């Protein structure tokens, strides 16, 4: 039976709910980080890393749900958004580069472009709009431009995404951990939950626009 838009909405909502519950369970297990009980700050570091994983992982789940929806609807990549063709022309870009952008290579690229304009999401490389271990503001902006999404609603979270969600995680991962002694676990989890809710709204609204 063909899935309905409600099925894809439910998939996104369920994925977000699972991520939020996981983070809440981490907070329950760790309680309030204490420098005395945890002199190495392992609890805070774990919370920061897992929070980032929830943020990036949920974004990628939204991308999959959105692309699955567009494929089920039989949408052409170019109809979903002109810049989405970036994810359908990977082989052509590689060929153009490997042939040093020669006149013949450019001609062949244009000839193939005519065919690729008709491709659907079965031929779309989702890596073009997915996160790759660094879903910071610049990467989110780049991906949203390709997806033709408006980033404005995330603007008020820009600094906290940069410093707390992404920056702290990078510091922990690369051995240059920030001072997390004053980390408020509840606030950090709430922040990640809020931006995931916004992300769900963005992708669900985009699905509605393609009905």
Domain of 137 in residue numbering reads as 5-73+124-209
What is the arithmetic mean of pLDDT over 155-177? 91
Write the pLDDT tens digit of every residue in 34-47.
555 665 677 888 88
Give the per-residue pLDDT at 173.
Answer: 85
Write the pLDDT tens digit of every residue in 170-211.
998 887 777 777 788 889 999 999 999 999 999 999 999 999
Distances (CA, A) of 146 to 3, 57, 128: 25, 19, 8
Domains of the chain: total = 1
Give the per-residue pLDDT at 193.
Answer: 95
CA distance 97 to 119: 22
Could you tell me the pLDDT band of residue 33, with boundaries at 50, 70 and 90?
low
In a domain, 153, yes or no: yes
In a domain, 185, yes or no: yes
In a domain, 88, yes or no: no
Q: Average per-residue pLDDT in the chain?
A: 90
In a domain, 78, yes or no: no
In a domain, 84, yes or no: no
CA distance 76 to 74: 7
In a domain, 28, yes or no: yes
Could you tell me the pLDDT band of residue 29, with boundaries at 50, 70 and 90?
confident
pLDDT of 132 higher than 90? no
In a domain, 105, yes or no: no
CA atoms within 13 A on the CB side of 28: 6
In a domain, 108, yes or no: no
């Amino acid at each position: 039976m063909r899935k309905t838009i409600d099925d894809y909405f439910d998939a996104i909502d369920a994925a977000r709910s699972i991520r939020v519950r996981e983070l809440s369970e981490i907070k329950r297990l760790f309680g309030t980080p204490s420098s005395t009980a945890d002199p190495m700050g392992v609890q805070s570091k774990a919370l920061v890393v897992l929070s980032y994983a929830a943020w990036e992982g949920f974004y990628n789940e939204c991308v999959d749900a959105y692309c699955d929806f567009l494929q089920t609807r039989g949408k052409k990549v170019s109809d979903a958004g002109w810049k989405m063709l970036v994810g359908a022309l990977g082989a052509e870009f590689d060929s153009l580069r490997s042939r040093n952008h020669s006149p013949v290579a450019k001609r062949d690229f244009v000839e193939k472009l005519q065919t690729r304009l008709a491709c659907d999401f079965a031929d779309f490389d989702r890596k073009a709009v997915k996160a790759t271990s660094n879903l910071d503001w610049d990467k989110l902006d780049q991906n949203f431009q390709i997806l033709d999404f408006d980033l404005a609603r995330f603007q008020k979270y820009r600094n906290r995404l940069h410093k707390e969600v992404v920056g702290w995680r990078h510091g922990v991962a690369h051995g240059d951990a920030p001072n997390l002694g004053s980390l408020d676990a509840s606030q950090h989890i709430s922040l990640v939950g809020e931006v995931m809710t916004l992300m769900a709204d963005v992708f669900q609204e985009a699905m509605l626009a393609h009905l």
